[in-house]
């Protein structure tokens, strides 16, 4: 199963307190979004991945903001089942390939997309989606490079996600709107589940 086909939206989650990881993951899964990208932007991220992997087996938890081989090794050790990078370098691609885990390398230009396609990589993260050209940019790419699919992430909102999902070269989108910081801080898991349910229904 492709990462891009697990659900229409992959929640991109910034976790400040690892204690929130399990109830957060359960709320997202209950709402219909099994794939969860925990970004490596906080000290709590790796513990959060480990807790979700151990206690929410129905979730497919991955690590985002992967930038180095050390990030890859630590994420795999924590139990991450996929990896997502914001951009791509030759050494990072080699480390991603060597990990044995599914991965979405980041790309934002035609040349980056072509370089990854030359390596046989056909599923990418498009980041930062809105800042890099958004829906019109990806639509333009689908003509000359029809065999590459994307998970655009960065600036996408509930009101714009469907526009991306309507494109033939978009399999899913990544979004932070599903896990508002105030909902996480207050433990409002019902709100998170509702947002996930609405996102899961997108086409």
Which residues are the active-site residues?
Answer: 37, 125
Tell me the sheet residues that pair with 38.
13, 63
Strand bridging mode 106-107 / 103-104: unpaired
Which run of H or E residues covers position 200? helix 189-200
DSSP string, 22-84: HHHHHHHHHTT--EEEEETTSTTHHHHHHHHHHH-TTSEEEEES--SHHHHHHHHHHT-S-EE
């Amino acid at each position: 199963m492709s990462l891009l086909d697990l659900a229409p939206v992959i929640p991109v989650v910034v976790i400040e307190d690892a204690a929130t990881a399990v109830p957060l993951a359960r709320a997202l899964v209950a709402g219909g979004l099994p794939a969860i990208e925990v970004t490596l932007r906080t000290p709590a991220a790796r513990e959060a991945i480990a807790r979700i992997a151990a206690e929410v087996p129905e979730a497919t938890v991955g690590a985002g903001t992967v930038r180095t081989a050390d990030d890859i090794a630590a994420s795999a050790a924590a139990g991450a089942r996929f990896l997502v990078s914001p951009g791509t370098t030759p050494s990072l691609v080699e480390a991603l390939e060597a990990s044995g885990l599914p991965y979405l390398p980041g790309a934002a230009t035609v040349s980056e997309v072509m370089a990854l396609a030359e390596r046989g990589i056909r599923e990418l993260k498009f980041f930062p989606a809105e800042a890099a050209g958004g829906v019109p940019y990806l639509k333009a790419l689908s003509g000359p490079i029809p065999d590459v699919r994307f998970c655009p992430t960065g600036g996408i909102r509930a009101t714009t996600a469907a526009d991306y999902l309507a494109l033939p070269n978009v399999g899913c989108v990544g979004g932070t709107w599903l896990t508002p910081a105030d909902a996480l801080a207050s433990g409002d898991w019902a709100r998170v589940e509702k947002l996930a349910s609405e996102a899961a229904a997108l086409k």
